[in-house]
Amino acid sequence: RAGRRTLDYAGLDGWADAVAARLHDEGIEQGSVVGVLLERDTALLPAMLGILRAGASFLPLDPGYPEDRLRRYVDVSGCELILTDARTHALGASLGSARQVPDADGAAQAVPPRVTADDLAYTLFTSGSTGDPKGVEIAHGALADFLTGIGGRLGVSADDTVLAHTTVAFDISLLELLLPLTVGATVVLASRETSADPYRLAEVASGVSVAQATPSLWRLLLGTGWSPHAGLTVLSGGEALSPATAERLHEPARALWNLYGPTEATIWAAAHRVESVGTFLPLGEPLPHMELHVLDADLNPSEPGSTGELYLSGSGLARGYAGRPDLTREVFVDHPAIGTRLYRTGDEVRLHETGAVEWLGRSDAQVKVRGHRIEPAEIERILERIDGVTAAVVVAARFEGRGELRLTAYLVGDAMPGKARLDALVAGALPAYMVPDAYVNLDALPLTDNGKVARAALPLPTRDTILRSGEEQELPTEPTTSAEAEPPAAESVVGEFVAVTPEPAAVASAAEPATDATARDTAVPAGSAAEAGMTEEELARSIARVFAATLDHPEFDVQANYFDLGGDSVNVTIAAARLGGELGASVTAPAIFASGTPVKLARLLGAEGVVPLREQETETAPVAGTAPAAAYAA
């Protein structure tokens, strides 16, 4: 089901047959690689299944990724043909040979190819530590074992409806798309727009029985006021699930599962059903045909109570990396004593006396931000190519030590470009989820005794140390509609969060008014702004107070940029909704993107008539934007 469009199993079967027949006519055969470059609509599943039925493997391609990166995926994987739709065909044609997904016309292959467990099913790219993305190759046997194993573990049945909202560039999307088909369940395919809007996504999640997301996205949905209904099975994975978030998901839901697994082990390798929430959430029991091994530096089993590195074995392991036998040999190793093929995850874990495995962190520089696995070296290489930047180190850090982990770049250089230019240059080469949220300019990088960068010694990003957005982008002198201002693309397991205009009654209220006298005096009860009217300065102060509450800051300067101080494409929708509730008006995320600061947003909302403004009294303080910046408490 995709919006109002539906496709039953008979229709899916016939459409997939037609795709397979057309691919055969195009010369696609067993062992071929076919790209899938489609918007999230009913053609997505027939295209994937049709490719597999033709004996080929599919290469998921996200239309929102930079063209050069997609071209790299196509080249490395040996992709021979790209399936597109009307909206993506021009992009597909620029990458190579492209055909739009054929309609279901009753065609079918006369003699379908015989597919074996060792044949390639799909190639999915992840960030690479050498600066190049890595194409993980998964065979049919690994995918089949995963789907049957996870289906049995979760107990999914034909009566279930499964939410599919994750980008196809993230391998967990295959659970959402393919697992329901193995038991006759219903796939509820969320559009890119719905997946990008936490309020709409929360509404859809309220109508399904199985939903999967990263902890970051679950926290975002909970922040909208949503809560799992009693019939919902909640799947969480991709990053560590905190006990606090687990409590909020576990209590109301039918079931909560904590999932663990890298792309190299076919989506998920272990699952833990949360029966009670303790000080940590275990990685869980391995899925059928998989094993978890906690080993020391000599590949000997770690003693219970000690720490070690996590290795995986079993039928779910990938064949390797496309075109990179060197990288394959580096992480897929044969145990010297028992000969078992192992995958070295790079995850440091603790083996408890009970047998539970606790995730502790990474043994390398790899980071997880909003569920995405990111190799900082890829971003560092792009940054160090920029004129004025002589050295770059990228880590995941919390802004001023609070909130979610954010991608932060520490730069050294004598002629540092501005934040807007840095953003544009990185976004031109990498997916939006790899564009740093913040940049910190340092005189020199801290080093260890052996001359390596001391990442642990890097300072926390703060409002005093980050590069701020410049003032070069002033608002137009003529009023424009906020819809004209497009937000920067942002692709992640939480998606591209764009404008959302919920009804005021559905908006979570902002924080309690501040104790600061000025902020308290200028605060306007929800829904009253349109009736009484505000000055531009009063409106800016109200906006600053809501920004502070959204970002969990004790104060927020009316001249400060929301996106400099912790705002991003994820939480901006929360800020917009809170402002809508506070002001009794429709405030959109694009309006915040277009303005950035409370002063500029107040000016924009007033110019567009979204919030009626009255003239500033002559005896009062100067209008905000001309006076020295004042900070307002949350």
Confidence of residue 588 (pLDDT cuts 50, 70, 90): confident
Classify 341 as helix, strand or coil: strand
pLDDT at res. 373: 82
Query: Structure tokens of 238?
Result: 């991709």
pLDDT at res. 151: 96
What is the chain's Cα-based Rg? 25
CA dihedral 185, 191, 196, 199 (to 10 degrees): -60
Residue 376 has pLDDT above 90, yes or no: no
Question: Which domains can be identified in the chain, with CATH numbers?
Answer: 9-266 (3.40.50.12780), 285-362 (2.30.38.10), 368-457 (3.30.300.30), 482-633 (1.10.1200.10)
Average pLDDT, the chain: 84
Q: What is the pLDDT of residues 39-77, one digit of tens each?
A: 999 999 999 999 999 999 999 999 999 999 999 999 999
What element of type H or E holds 204? helix 198-205
Lowest-pLDDT range of 192-196, 337-341, 405-409, 423-427: 192-196
Q: What is the pLDDT of residues 178-231, one digit of tens each?
A: 999 999 999 999 998 888 888 889 999 999 999 999 888 898 888 888 999 999
Long-range CB pairs of 285-292, under 8 A, 24+ apart, other chains included: 286/314, 287/145, 287/146, 287/149, 287/150, 287/153, 287/316, 288/145, 288/148, 288/149, 288/152, 288/153, 289/145, 289/149, 289/314, 289/315, 289/316, 290/149, 290/265, 290/314, 290/315, 290/316, 292/357
| Whole-angstrom distance, CA of residue 565 vs CA of residue 468 | 9
Confidence of residue 451 (pLDDT cuts 50, 70, 90): low
- Count of Cβ atoms closer than 10 Å to residue 339 Cβ: 7
Q: Which of 185, 167, 30, 37 is nearest to 101 (CA)?
A: 37
Residue type, 501: T
Residue 165 has pLDDT above 50, yes or no: yes
| Whole-angstrom distance, CA of residue 95 vs CA of residue 340 | 40
Quote the DSSP letter at residue 369.
E
Q: List C-alpha distances in Å: 485 to 194, 367, 423, 468, 592.
A: 19, 31, 17, 20, 9
What element of type H or E holds 310? strand 307-314
Average pLDDT over residues 528-543: 76
Average pLDDT over residues 240-264: 93
Residue 292 has pLDDT above 60, yes or no: yes
- Count of Cβ atoms closer than 10 Å to residue 217 Cβ: 26
pLDDT at res. 616: 65
| Whole-angstrom distance, CA of residue 515 vs CA of residue 577 | 23
Average pLDDT over residues 260-273: 96
Residues 370, 372, 376, 382, CA torsion sign = negative
Confidence of residue 498 (pLDDT cuts 50, 70, 90): very low
Confidence of residue 281 (pLDDT cuts 50, 70, 90): very high
pTM of this structure: 0.75
Sheet holding 285-286, edge to edge: 186-189, 161-164, 210-213, 233-237, 255-260, 270-273, 285-286
Residue 369 has pLDDT above 90, yes or no: no
- pLDDT above 70 covers a percentage of the chain that reads 86
Q: Are 578 and 520 in contact (CB under 8 A)?
A: no
pLDDT at res. 205: 95
DSSP string, 270-298: EEEE-SS--SS----EEPTTEEEEEE-TT
DSSP string, 592-629: HHHH-SHHHHHHHHHHTTSS-B-PPPTTSPPPTTTSPP
Classify 68 as helix, strand or coil: helix
Confidence of residue 613 (pLDDT cuts 50, 70, 90): confident
| Whole-angstrom distance, CA of residue 308 vs CA of residue 294 | 5
Confidence of residue 32 (pLDDT cuts 50, 70, 90): very high
| Whole-angstrom distance, CA of residue 424 vs CA of residue 414 | 20
Query: Structure tokens of 538?
Result: 């009063």
DSSP string, 126-160: E--TTSS-EEEEEEHHHHHHHHHHHHHHHT--TT-
Classify 40 as helix, strand or coil: coil
Q: Which of 33 and 406 is assigned the larger pLDDT?
A: 33
Quote the DSSP letter at residue 237.
E
Residue 569 has pLDDT above 90, yes or no: no
pLDDT at res. 617: 61
For 533: left if phi > 0, alpha if psi spans -120 to 50, otherwise beta; the answer is left
Confidence of residue 174 (pLDDT cuts 50, 70, 90): very high
Q: What is the pLDDT of residues 455-497, one digit of tens each?
A: 888 999 998 899 988 633 333 333 333 333 333 333 333 333 3
DSSP E strand stretches across 504-581: 555-557
Average pLDDT over residues 22-45: 95
For 54: left if phi > 0, alpha if psi spans -120 to 50, otherwise beta; the answer is alpha
Q: Which of 287 and 238 is assigned the larger pLDDT?
A: 287
Lowest-pLDDT range of 79-88, 268-277, 321-330, 614-623: 614-623
CA 557 remoteness from chain centre: 29
pLDDT at res. 242: 86
- Continuous H helices in 211-265: 215-223, 243-250
Average pLDDT over residues 581-607: 89
